[in-house]
Amino acid sequence: MHLCECGSPLLVRYDLQQVKASFQREALQSRSHSLWRYEELLPIDDPEGVVSLGENMTPLLALEKLGQELGVPRLFLKDEGALPTGTFKARGAAIGVSRAKELGVSILVMPTNGNAGGAWAAYCAAAGIQAVIVMPESAPVMNWKECTLAGASLYLVNGLISDAGKIVARAISEYGWYDASTLKEPYRIEGKKTMGLELIEQLGWRVPDVILYPTGGGVGIIGIYKVIKELQEIGQLDGRLPRMVAVQSTGCAPIVKAWEQGKSESEFWENAHTAAFGITVPKALGDFLVLEAIYETEGCAIAVDDKEILEAQRQLASRQGLLVCPEGAATLCAAARLAQTGWIKKEDEVVLFNTGTGLKYPETVEANPEVLEPEDSLPG
């Protein structure tokens, strides 16, 4: 069990005074272009023993054409699709599995909507840890396949991630396996926070005005907010905060509902369903931390519908050449909406997080090209 006695998540704390005294930006120059470069702010005892699949720094791309059209000329996209297993879940898995290995874990178990399962299965394969993964039957088929191929024990549940979570909880109490559920071990978030660290370094050690993030379990937002605070404490950032925006789907928007009602916790969302499968989380364990990050940064939460999401996915591909996942596309819809209402201003520097590659979601894309016979000619 890796929760507080009160049932809440535990967060990793560092001796930030000591880090402050020793941390030097210049030292990063000679380090690898990967999340491992931030070793002072990672919970790893032995950097030599880590499990790595090549977590390169991901590009921060200017969306010039779409930015102009939306009236947000300083619009950027951080493209996490370039990571191992195709999503930012690799960051959490790299640190989470490395730490599990340090702790001597031999079997770990987790519920997932798919991408975390794929990432943890891959890193566990590399680490020699047995992964037991439970995901909804409706998860993207690619996620089943990558888990199976990586040698994980995969089970599908006729239900949602919350149902998978219940099955996992029973297995843990029965067999004593290591619980790798979101926020039930404190290390995954340390990996995910490196998204924020990287962004800040890429911007020259400052934050943008607005960050839009597709929010499911909320670890991404919590992690980015956590690392901003850490960087402030070690004197690497001034006190300015980016307005953080949690983007959800109208088919599953518990955080949006809670934010609209000014609440500090969300309620279970019934009959959750969206094409942006990775953000189908009806009730997140860390919902109160996500809401805190939104309130503290004067951000907001916004829901967009599947039709808009798929249209935004097409736009990003046809206008900018980027094949993003539906979750990532949702952030573009949200930015468009917030620019329309004036919440995002023309001079704001805005960063969208594309959390994964669209290649993992062939079933969300419609394409009906014409089939030719060998003797046919092209219409010209």
Ligand X SMILES: *Cc1c(COP(=O)(O)O)cnc(C)c1O
Is residue 357 within 8 Å of 87, Cβ to Cβ?
A: yes
Is residue 234 within 8 Å of 23, Cβ to Cβ?
A: yes
User: Which tokens is 375 given?
Assistant: 């003797």
C-alpha distances in Å from residue 349, one per residue of 63, 200, 203, 352: 12, 13, 11, 10
Q: How far is the CB of 28 from ligand X (least distance, A)?
A: 25
**Spatial CA neighbour of 193 closest among 160, 161, 224, 162:** 224
Is residue 216 within 8 Å of 281, Cβ to Cβ?
A: yes
Alpha helices in 321-379 (DSSP H): 326-341
The residue (of 16 and 325) whose beta carbon lies closer to ligand X is 325
Q: How far is the CB of 42 from ligand X (least distance, A)?
A: 18
The residue (of 236 and 357) whose beta carbon lies closer to ligand X is 357
Give the Cβ contact number of residue 173 at 10 Å: 10
**Which residues have CB under 8 Å from 79's CB, separation 6+?**
58, 59, 60, 61, 322, 324, 354
Give the Cβ contact number of residue 204 at 10 Å: 6
Is residue 282 within 8 Å of 307, Cβ to Cβ?
A: no
Q: How far is the CB of 287 from ligand X (least distance, A)?
A: 10
Please give the Cα distance from 294 to 23 (Å, whole number): 29
The residue (of 109 and 301) whose beta carbon lies closer to ligand X is 301
Q: Which residues bind ligand X (CB under 6 A)?
A: 87, 89, 115-116, 214-220, 278-279, 325, 327, 355-356
Count CA within 13 A, CB hemisphere, residue 106: 2
User: Which tokens is 76 given?
Assistant: 């950027």
Please give the Cα distance from 335 to 72 (Å, whole number): 9
Is residue 208 within 8 Å of 242, Cβ to Cβ?
A: yes
The residue (of 216 and 242) whose beta carbon lies closer to ligand X is 216
The residue (of 181 and 355) whose beta carbon lies closer to ligand X is 355
Q: Name the residue whose CB lies closest to ligand X.
A: 278
The residue (of 87 and 181) whose beta carbon lies closer to ligand X is 87
Q: How far is the CB of 237 from ligand X (least distance, A)?
A: 21
Sequence letter at residue 56: N
Q: How far is the CB of 87 from ligand X (least distance, A)?
A: 5
Q: How far is the CB of 220 from ligand X (least distance, A)?
A: 3
The residue (of 234 and 281) whose beta carbon lies closer to ligand X is 281
The residue (of 208 and 356) whose beta carbon lies closer to ligand X is 356
Q: How far is the CB of 217 from ligand X (least distance, A)?
A: 3
Q: How far is the CB of 110 from ligand X (least distance, A)?
A: 12
